[in-house]
Structure 1
Amino acid sequence: MKQTLNREWLLGLALSAATVPTGSADLTTTISSAANWGTWEGFGVSLAWWAKAFGTRSDLADIFFSTEWTTYNGQSIPGMGLTIARYNAGACSWKTVNGSAMVVSPDMIASRQMESYWVDWFNSSPSSSSWSWSVDENQRNMLSMAKARGANIFELFSNSPPWWMCLNHNPSGSDDGSSDNLQSWNYDQHAVYLATIAEYAANNWGVSFQSVEAFNEPSSDWWNGKTGTQEGCHFNFSTQATVIGDLRTELNNRGLSSTLISASDENTYDLAISTWNNLGNTATSNVGRINVHGYQYSGGRRDTLYSLASGAGKRLWNSEYGESDATGESLVTNLLLDFRWLHPTAWVYWQAIDGSGWGLIDGDNDNVSLGAISQKYFALSQFTRHIRPGMRILDGGSDYTVAAYDSTAQKLVIVAANWGAAQYLNFELSDFSSPGVSGAVVPRWITQVGTGDQYSSHNDTYISGTKFWSYFPTGAVQTFEVSKVVLLLWTEDRYDPSGFRLDSDKG
């Protein structure tokens, strides 16, 4: 959720780097049966802002949260099967309180104003008149439809505290963009707000939030109340640490001790590293998962952030990603980099519906109008429909390959991409005790970025000994599902979660 200038500058970094095959010679990659980069939790999407506009559309819920094929604008569309939904706790309300009212930035975009449940500071009781639980009906409705279609992990997140907690009463940020905007006497009240929503949702919405995130890109300096187009708030390290402690207390006081605190949803991998290193031991001990946004694209030290997370025993999510490349090439490039170096256990797209290439479906949230399905939608579906929750993420052996293993079904899933000249890509499975049945069909699905195949399936690929291969046109993203693949027995308990062998005994 960046200001446009920053988004476009960062997008240029992604488009300037190619990390998948560019040569014309055939390439072979060996899939490792030993590596274990974690148990996959799922792909997801944030509900703000598109669900505010389109939260009554059951066909959109089908498209994003089921794996069923749905008719959209006369076209049959494969459901993405997203299983994670991030719900935004709003900061806006239009109630004048003792002569005070919310200050609105002159550049504010109306569809990005999310309504707050806590409308004034007189009473913290959720049953009092200081709270309005009827607002934000559309986003809440999409949350319920997501759950009904199989989504099973939910996160509550905040872009800004409610306006009346802000120093300038503007939930778009401080007057200079780089100063804290949460009043110091309301640090604990911000925690009360989020914990109360989490408790209310569990008791009244039938939704239990796995995690709560109190910040959104808190170290960034573009949250300026004079020019902001959305909700946002700067928090320095010490303020974040205080709020994290307060939030842990408030969740525990409501019987939500198992609800994780995630932090800090920084804009880039490098900012996330800096923030984590400066939060202090008390705050980091209260954080159950590190969240980071993927707006550094091809830059940044994904590997360093992963090392910090694994060293601290924390899970790691890419909790927000987006860009304006509707072809899908940038998305696939950066998703492959995340799997290769960041090793998240979940990955969340930002705007499911938006204009200028940002949306998976082109649309206008202000005018509540919809356009065509983006080619980016089909490219992402190559991952979301096949790499499913509970799978073990393996080492694909190259920068252009992702591999995941379903131990129950004994199924290996491979997703690979080719940006260069058309060529054959070979996949070697000799590292597995059973690499599938020689001669067996390997179903494949193909999407071509930009134009061409959207999501077509084929049964023309076969196992030959311990390998198979497939022809990749330029710009092709393909998924393969190999049945009857068995991991070497000793890999299950003789490797640590980082994929390093613990001993040399295969016993």
Structure 2
Amino acid sequence: MNLRRLLTVLCVPIVAIGLAAAPAEAATSVTVKPDPTYRQQPFDGWGASLAWMAEATGGYPDAVRNKLADLVFGPDGLNLNIARFNVGGGNAPDVPAYLRPGAAVPGWWKAPAGTTRADKDWWTPGDAAEFDPKADPNQRWWLDKIKNRVTKWEAFSNSPPYFQTVSGYVSGGFNATDEQLRSDKIGDFTAYLTQVVRTLERAHGIKFASVNPLNEPNTNYWKTALGADGNPTGGRQEGAHIGPSVQSQLIPAMAGALKAAGSRAIVSAPDETNPDIFAADWAGWSADARAAAGRLNVHTYGTGNRPVPRDLAKGGGKPLWMSEVGGSWLDRQDFTDMDPGLGMAKQITDDLRLLEPSAWVSWQPIEDYNNMKPGGESAAGMNWGEIQVPFDCPKNATLQTCQIKTNTKFNTMRNFTHYIKPGDRLVGVNDTASTAAMRGEDLATVVHTNADTTDQDVTLDLSGFRNVRPGASVTPVVTDVTGALKRGKPVRVTAGKATLRVPARSVTSFLVDGVSSTAPGTGLGSGRPVTFTGVQSGKSLSAENGSLVQRTTDASATAQRWTLTDRTGRYGNRDRFTITNTGTGQVLATAGGAVTLAAAGPCDPAAQWTLSTTGDGTWTFVNAATGQLLDVTGESRADGARIGLYKPTNGPNQRWQAIAG
């Protein structure tokens, strides 16, 4: 969670607009084809961290804070249903304020009179005299305000309390890569978090689904700098470096503490800043830590290699959340430019397509206007957040004196959050600028981003669905520079297709009615033979003497043809398949860390594979027993090169083009 956020307050009314169903000369064109044979897990929903925005605004006058809560969690606002509650660590009583506005989230402890930063061994877990059950009233105001709208709660920590850290400050160590959690205080830290969680549950009538004791832990972000007077001058937020080895101790301890307290909350981790460091954390975890983590969380401040957490989660049998991201997408403060809105739409679309998370969580929808204006975070200003308000409004503030603004991210995000609902299942799409969702067996929504400077004719190809009811239609809901969520006229589906024109630089939610179920004979599990050709080598998977190699593609070679049988479900992105060679009748399996061909028989995990795709026709194969992927050994392009197993890398030597027939 690095520095961020931003921007404009208007719920623009939905008005009828006419979108032409016929193409025009000036428009570009694209065909979008949803694939109901590749369905992600039921979607948990959309969320945000309370944290700084709640700390800064939870004590505002009712008119202001109620408006803000409605903009984030209300049905006409962002319509979020997941909330992450930040359990503050808290600096020592004698440390002057130095964190950014909102970031000084209170700790839940009561120090004896005269306690200073030098006193780090006074706190005892479970001692009522040293625990403050009334801590953090501002964030808790938000909790009460939104609890009837929130379906999933997560508690998370950015830093342990100062007395459980090595440096004695919650903003990090004096060296940003030194371990910050005291090795002798791991149990105390988990007891502290558990006591806060149980206190909140009893006081507010909620239940936390998960607790995460980490935030971007294996990074060099969190450093405390001291001034000449010995007091901290930075960093400006709570944070703690906790490397994979200590994570391996902390995660099982957190699970044990929750269980001992009678909580049903799972442990989520590691909330790492990007997919690459997430993978490094996972690689460094012990078997106990992997087993104790009930869900994996990743941030996407770095966007490379998103499929790696996807396949690690599948191989580990863990749910996956994209639990934090935000961005500016503009080098200045601006409330009307479409660049931030288009950037947000691309971020969401890519995260959902490449990560396959079961939740998408914004960092801070509300940002400090003062921090984002020119001269604040930067000379030109910045554009973080979807909503902006000053974090220093007085107690007598009104909506006129404490003005709220939203930017185009607020508008385009609602194209997703209003029309892709909890319980929906995202499905594969051939187009990288589109997201599609089914509700039950019905195709419900396709959200499409046109970042071009010209209009675009979008053809929805619905041939992958079995049932297209007479009168089936597609209704566009458009956000562009002229307004938000503008509902257009329905367009009839004809011959399994509907073509609609969307404006330049826009995000459109296509609401589909009357299209359902999966067309027979489609998908990799249809029983049709398939050839898998390597993306890197251009050569195909081939059975050879009981093992697997790559060979120059030969359409007539039965050794290169495979049939897939879904053994655990139907059309799910985490289903397990057996993969049978049509020439030998053997199934693809693993034994002793190698890829083998085995006699067909009972379905043990070594002979089961989960397949992943980004919608581009290429696939990875995740073995159910090992969690590893099919991998061309040494990234070889040679004819006859052996196929082995390796951790996911997102490399082209792990991806295979499926060619049916």
| TM-score, L = length of structure 1 | 0.86
1:195 positional shift: 1.1
1:30 positional shift: 1.3
Which 5+ residue runs of structure 2 have no aligned equivalent?
6-25, 112-121, 226-233, 335-339, 373-381, 395-401, 524-567, 581-661
Is 1:42 the equivalent of 2:45? yes
Q: Residues 205 and 489 from structure 1, CA distance in 2 versus in 1: closer, same or farther, beyond 3 angstroms?
A: farther
Alignment correspondent of 1:26: 29
Output aligned runs, 1:382-397, within 5 Å.
Answer: 382-397=415-430
Per the alignment, in what secondary structure is the counterpart of residue 487 of structure 1? strand
Contact 1:362-1:373 at 8 Å conserved across structures: yes
Q: Which amino acid aligns with 2:501?
A: Y
Output aligned runs, 1:70-469, within 5 Å.
Answer: 78-92=76-90, 95=93, 101=94, 103=95, 106=98, 108-120=99-111, 121-125=122-126, 128-148=128-148, 150-226=149-225, 227-256=234-263, 258-296=264-302, 299-325=303-329, 327-354=340-367, 355=372, 356-367=382-393, 369-407=402-440, 410-420=442-452, 421-438=454-471, 440-448=472-480, 451-469=481-499
Q: Which amino acid aligns with 2:238?
A: E
Question: Could you say what the CA RMSD is over the residues aligned between the two structures, in angstroms?
Answer: 2.3
Q: Which whole-Å CA distance do the structure 1 matches of 2:153 and 2:35 have between them?
A: 32
Which 5+ residue runs of structure 1 have no aligned equivalent?
8-22, 68-77, 96-100
1:352 positional shift: 1.4
Between 307-316 and 318-327, report the one with greater CA deviation. 318-327
Query: Once the two structures are superposed, what CA deviation does each residue of 1:112-150 show, in whole Å capped at 9, x if it has no partner?
Result: 100011234433226x121112221111111122112x2
Q: Which whole-Å CA distance do the structure 1 matches of 2:498 and 2:519 have between them?
A: 23
Q: Which whole-Å CA distance do the structure 1 matches of 2:500 and 2:96 have between them?
A: 55
Q: Which amino acid aligns with 2:485?
A: Y
Q: Residues 123 and 499 from structure 1, CA distance in 2 versus in 1: closer, same or farther, beyond 3 angstroms?
A: closer
1:445 positional shift: 0.9
Contact 1:320-1:347 at 8 Å conserved across structures: yes
1:469 positional shift: 1.7
Per the alignment, in what secondary structure is the counterpart of residue 247 of structure 2? helix
Residue 494 of structure 1: which of 556, 560, 570 is its match?
570
1:500 positional shift: 7.8
Q: Which amino acid aligns with 1:33?
A: P
Per the alignment, in what secondary structure is the counterpart of residue 82 of structure 1? coil
Point out the structure with the larger helix share: 1
Contact 2:56-2:101 at 8 Å conserved across structures: no
Q: Which whole-Å CA distance do the structure 1 matches of 2:346 and 2:101 have between them?
A: 33
Contact 2:48-2:80 at 8 Å conserved across structures: yes
Q: Which whole-Å CA distance do the structure 2 matches of 1:360 and 1:495 have between them?
A: 35
Query: Once the two structures are superposed, what CA deviation does each residue of 1:96-122 show, in whole Å capped at 9, x if it has no partner?
Result: xxxxx4x4575x214210001123443
Q: Which whole-Å CA distance do the structure 1 matches of 2:103 and 2:406 have between them?
A: 22
Q: Which whole-Å CA distance do the structure 1 matches of 2:266 and 2:498 have between them?
A: 42
Alignment correspondent of 1:17: none
Per the alignment, in what secondary structure is the counterpart of residue 455 of structure 1? strand
Per the alignment, in what secondary structure is the counterpart of residue 169 of structure 2? coil
Query: Once the two structures are superposed, what CA deviation does each residue of 1:302-354 show, in whole Å capped at 9, x if it has no partner?
Result: 11110010111111111001011362122111111112111111001111111
Per the alignment, in what secondary structure is the counterpart of residue 395 of structure 1? strand
Per the alignment, in what secondary structure is the counterpart of residue 61 of structure 1? helix
Query: Once the two structures are superposed, what CA deviation does each residue of 1:414-442 show, in whole Å capped at 9, x if it has no partner?
Result: 1011112322011111111113434x442
Q: Which structure would you say has the larger Rg?
A: 2
Q: Which amino acid aligns with 2:248?
A: A
Q: How many residues align?
A: 461
Q: Which amino acid aligns with 1:109?
A: R
Per the alignment, in what secondary structure is the counterpart of residue 491 of structure 2? coil
1:206 positional shift: 0.8
> Which structure ranks higher in relative contact order (CA pairs < 8 Å, sequence separation ≥ 6)?
1
| TM-score, L = length of structure 2 | 0.66
Runs of 4 or more, structure 1, over 6 Å off, are: 489-492, 499-504
Query: Once the two structures are superposed, what CA deviation does each residue of 1:47-102 show, in whole Å capped at 9, x if it has no partner?
Result: 011111222522222222121xxxxxxxxxx322100000000111554xxxxx4x
Contact 2:41-2:572 at 8 Å conserved across structures: no
